Amino acid sequence: MLNITNNPLHDKVDLTTFKSGQKIFNKSHYIVLNRFLSVFGLILLIMLFLPWTQNITGKGLVTSLTPDQRPQTIQSQIPGRIEQWYVREGDYVERGDTILRISEVKSEYFDDKLIQRTNEQVQAKSSTVKAYQEKVGALERQIKALQKERKLKLEQARNKLLQAKYKVQSDSIDLEAEKTNIVIAKRQYDRNVTLQKEGILALKDVEEKKVKYQAAQAKLISQQNKLLASKNEVLNARVEISRIQANYDEKISKATSDKFTAQSYELEASAQVSKLLNTESNYRVRNSLLYVTAPQSGYIFKSNKGGIGVTFKEGEDLVGIMPSNLDLAVETYVRPIDLPLIHVGEKVRIQFDGWPAIVFSGWPNVSYGTYGAKVVAIERFISSNGMYRVLLAPDEEDHKWPEEIRVGSGAKTIALLQDVPIWFELWRQLNSFPPNYYQPEVSMKINKSSDKI
């Protein structure tokens, strides 16, 4: 009955004569089944040539497009002790609103009048600076007076020197005149002596000439003494000029040294004033830090420090805040093998967790519940999960993303690549080939233009 012999039974026996054969071979349902299978196979064959959009799927999280809109924690720049809370978790705060008040925990800042006492020190040091400035001004005036007095004294001494020189010249002329007189007196005396020996003149006349000759000698010696005295006065005048110059130079040098010392003290006091002003400014800023304020408008979502009287260090997380104004984005991850297929500006479809969707990854036009996005940034370094991070922004040409989306919710992404037939995609999947690599048209145009150049 299995028809495995060379003499088939159905050629010798008519099966339709049997009751069971009449029930089977007289029915036409197998013809309908064959037609159905033929039509299904034809439709399947046609579908193999339908276009299919290659894609890269991935999973990511909803985030914000700019870093300043992402959830953050608020820290205190100084250590302190919590004294009072002004908000509760879930409250909305505006930028600059006070979140909590703290107090100092360091002993050097316990004084309530610290700023006032620092201001008093600044005023005292400022008075010291002013006193040194006045002292410098007085010394400058003293130096100018000494320089002026030195100038007058030197002019006076130079005038005396000039007078002494003129007197030396006068005495020199008088000395020459006396020398001439003594020569004349000597001749007259010698002549009278000769005439007296000849008996022409009396002895009295000779004695008179002798007296005149001796008087001329005395005047010559006196005039020589006067000339020496005049020369001595010239030397004394020169010595006086040197003494005046040295004396006033010493006084001016001392006053200048005192001036520089006062200026040094003034600069030192000015530096102390600047330091105190800096300290006072730091105290004011530190006092303002005793109130922790919101850096931007948002919602308080978590308190890392609770209670009253809790101490903390600077830089510790106190409370978390979620910004109210968000430019939503999605960060997704792709495998390194798929990274060359992703380019900035490409279209991506997103399915958000919690939003019902019917997704046909190869036919994005017939998908329901997905939203459009585009690639805005591709990470240059691999992440800790072994994939590359890609940042997606909303596509302005597509419908708007749901407003109820929250940062941190999950999302599934479908990066759309090249359109290929379904048979090609099935063949690629069976052989585990990557999607077709291609370059966007914009980048291809840029490369062609650069080649021409």
Of the candidates 8, 61, 58, 68, the residue with the CA atom closest to the CA atom of residue 323: 68
Do 258 and 306 belong to one domain? Answer: no
At 5, the pLDDT band (50, 70, 90 cuts) reads: low
Lowest mean pLDDT among 6-10, 244-248, 287-291, 396-400: 6-10
Task: Report d(CA 251, CA 257) in Å as an integer.
Answer: 10
Q: Is residue 24 part of a domain?
A: no
Q: Is residue 443 part of a domain?
A: no
Of the candidates 16, 43, 74, the residue with the CA atom closest to the CA atom of residue 295: 74
* pLDDT tens per residue across span 347-360: 888 888 876 655 54
Q: Which has more pLDDT, 213 or 253? A: 253
* pLDDT tens per residue across span 156-200: 888 888 888 888 888 788 778 877 877 887 777 777 777 777 777
Do 80 and 137 belong to one domain? Answer: no
Mean per-residue pLDDT for 447-452?
A: 41
φ, ψ of residue 274 in degrees (nearest 5): -60, -40
CATH number at 163 reads 1.10.287.620
Q: Is residue 23 part of a domain?
A: no
Q: Is residue 135 part of a domain?
A: yes
Q: Is the pLDDT of residue 450 over 70?
A: no
CATH number at 316 reads 2.40.50.100
Do 193 and 97 belong to one domain? Answer: no
Mean per-residue pLDDT for 18-37?
A: 68
Task: Report d(CA 135, CA 265) in Å as an integer.
Answer: 11
Q: Is the pLDDT of residue 365 over 70?
A: no
Do 344 and 367 belong to one domain? Answer: yes
Question: The domain containing residue 304 runs over which residues?
Answer: 72-104+290-323
Of the candidates 315, 292, 318, the residue with the CA atom closest to the CA atom of residue 303: 318
Do 276 and 387 belong to one domain? Answer: no
Do 124 and 90 belong to one domain? Answer: no
Do 209 and 336 belong to one domain? Answer: no
Do 415 and 356 belong to one domain? Answer: yes
* pLDDT tens per residue across span 189-213: 777 777 777 777 667 776 777 778 7
Tokens of 429: 């999947």
Do 142 and 281 belong to one domain? Answer: yes
Tell me how far CA of residue 242 lies from CA of 146, 237, 271, 447, in angstroms. Answer: 16, 9, 43, 90
* pLDDT tens per residue across span 79-99: 999 999 999 888 999 998 999
Do 126 and 242 belong to one domain? Answer: yes
Q: Is residue 30 part of a domain?
A: no
Do 259 and 222 belong to one domain? Answer: yes
Q: Is residue 190 part of a domain?
A: yes
Q: Is residue 84 part of a domain?
A: yes
Tell me how far CA of residue 327 lies from CA of 66, 70, 231, 347, 396, in angstroms. Answer: 7, 9, 104, 18, 12
Task: Report d(CA 37, CA 42) in Å as an integer.
Answer: 8
- Residue 447 is predicted with a pLDDT of 44
Q: Is residue 408 part of a domain?
A: yes
Task: Report d(CA 325, CA 94) in Å as an integer.
Answer: 11
Of the candidates 294, 285, 287, the residue with the CA atom closest to the CA atom of residue 74: 294
Tokens of 430: 């069976």
What is the chain's mean pLDDT, rounded?
Answer: 81
Domain termination site, one of 234, 265, 288: 288
Task: Report d(CA 415, CA 340) in Å as an integer.
Answer: 12
> Which DSSP state fits 433?
P
Lowest mean pLDDT among 25-34, 154-163, 407-416: 25-34
Do 271 and 297 belong to one domain? Answer: no
For residues 270-290, b (16+ Cβ closer than 10 Å) or e, as one string? bebbeebbeebeebeebeebb
Number of domains comprising the chain: 3
CATH number at 382 reads 2.40.30.170
- Residue 183 is predicted with a pLDDT of 80
Task: Report d(CA 379, CA 357) in Å as an integer.
Answer: 29
